[in-house]
Amino acid sequence: MWLTDMQKIGVGLTSFGALFMMLGIMLFFDGALLALGNILFLGGLFLIIGPQKTFYFFARKNKLRGTACFLGGILLVFFKWPTIGVLVEMFGFLNLFGDFFPVIITFLRQLPFIGQFLNLPFIRPVVDRLAGSRTSVV
């Protein structure tokens, strides 16, 4: 599957948004970096999947709690409450995007070095629990 130019820009914006959010958290919840990261992340998501799909993703009935927390956390960051805003935003993010974790973990396990790391004896159970997969006792 080939990406359009707008989707490529969206991937870049989303990546920079995640980077700025991580920097904002590492620099003791710097409000400016967190706000910029939020704007870039949402703009990138908008460009990647398009306006209609973005609206439908956030407006689904089973995702309304996650949407409210995610957008409420962003507003808290904008209103100079970055620590509480990031916590509320993370809760909303997990509710919105938690369904994608098994797919992401499966993809990461197929990569050369990361896959070997994720399959180490002490790390594998933690990753399986994050992914929501069940282990059978044989």
Q: What is the pLDDT of residues 52-72, one digit of tens each?
A: 999 999 999 999 999 999 999
Q: Which pTM value belongs to this model?
A: 0.79
Helix axes 51-59, 64-78, angle to 10 degrees: 110
| Residue 45 identity | L
- Inter-residue contact 107 to 115 (CB < 8 Å): no
Q: Which of 69, 81, 72 is nearest to 31 (CA)?
A: 81
Tens digits of residue pLDDT in 34-52: 999 999 999 999 999 999 9
* Separation of alpha carbons 29 and 72, rounded Å: 17
Distance CA(80)–CA(120), nearest Å, equals: 41
Query: Could you tell me how far CA 124 lies from the centroid of its own chain?
Result: 21
Please report the pLDDT score of residue 133 as a whole number.
59
Provide the pLDDT confidence category of residue 104 given band limits of 50, 70 and 90.
confident
Q: What is the CB-side half-sphere exposure of residue 135 using CA atoms within 13 A?
A: 10
Read off the tokens for 42.
């949402």
Burial class of 24 by CB neighbour count within 10 A (0 to 12, 13 to 18, 19+): buried
Taking Cα atoms as reference points, which of 24, 26, 20 lies closest to residue 40? 20
